A = this chain, B = another copy of it.
Amino acid sequence: MSPTAPIPDSTVPNSDSRYDRQLAKILEHATAIFYEKGYEGASIRDLSRASGMSLAGLYYYFESKEKLLYVIQRHLFLSVMDLVRERLREETDPEQRVRVFILTHLEYFLANPKSMKVLSHEDDVLKEELGADIANLKRQYYRCAADLVDALKAAKGLQFNSRVAVLSLFGMMNWIYTWYNPHVDGDAKLLAREIGDVFLGGIYATLAPPPA
């Protein structure tokens, strides 16, 4: 296990032009505010105050509050998926591939802690095409994890309900934003090991009957 692709230190796309830099700043503030107050509870005025840009000025960068959330969520999915793909490229062992997924997910979101909540907590607020698009990305991401788990399952001849197992794994990981405390719980590497142990120990146990 030696992932090498770097964790982006920001929650927003790389930026070159002045426009891009401004947009990046706005998205960062928006993420922070959605994190604090939730999508519905956050107001564009809050964002205006936080970013120092006028209310009207913000609308030059996004066309609606919904689109704003969309852009943020889309970027998060795309970049964590990129990172996962990148890191999986170097690993072939089925178990390690699952561990890489877990570690990458945790590293990414523990490096951008507010993002984890904005993705998890505001999961179903987007409707229509926007919502469908995000749901699609989410499905791809799920599929990616499920494929890794299924590969391991096949390789080891395990027997368990993949759907429930994978969704439980996501539950463990996505719930973290409600309790994670860096001083108490250690870094992503530690957490990934612990959670990976529970998960893998759990599915491996389906080989033999569990100890009485």
Contacts and interface: CB of A to CB of B under 8 A. Distances in A.
Chain A: interface residue count, which band?
35 or more
Contacts of A179: 167
Contact of A210 (B165, B185, B197): B197
Copy tally for this chain in the complex stands at: 4
A167 B175 contact: yes
Interface string A180-212: 000011000001001101111111111100110
Interface of A: 37-41, 121, 123, 125, 156, 160-161, 163-165, 167-168, 170-176, 178-179, 184-185, 191, 194-195, 197-207, 210-211
Contact of A171 (B163, B174, B201, B211): B174
Contact of A202 (B37, B41, B167, B199): B199
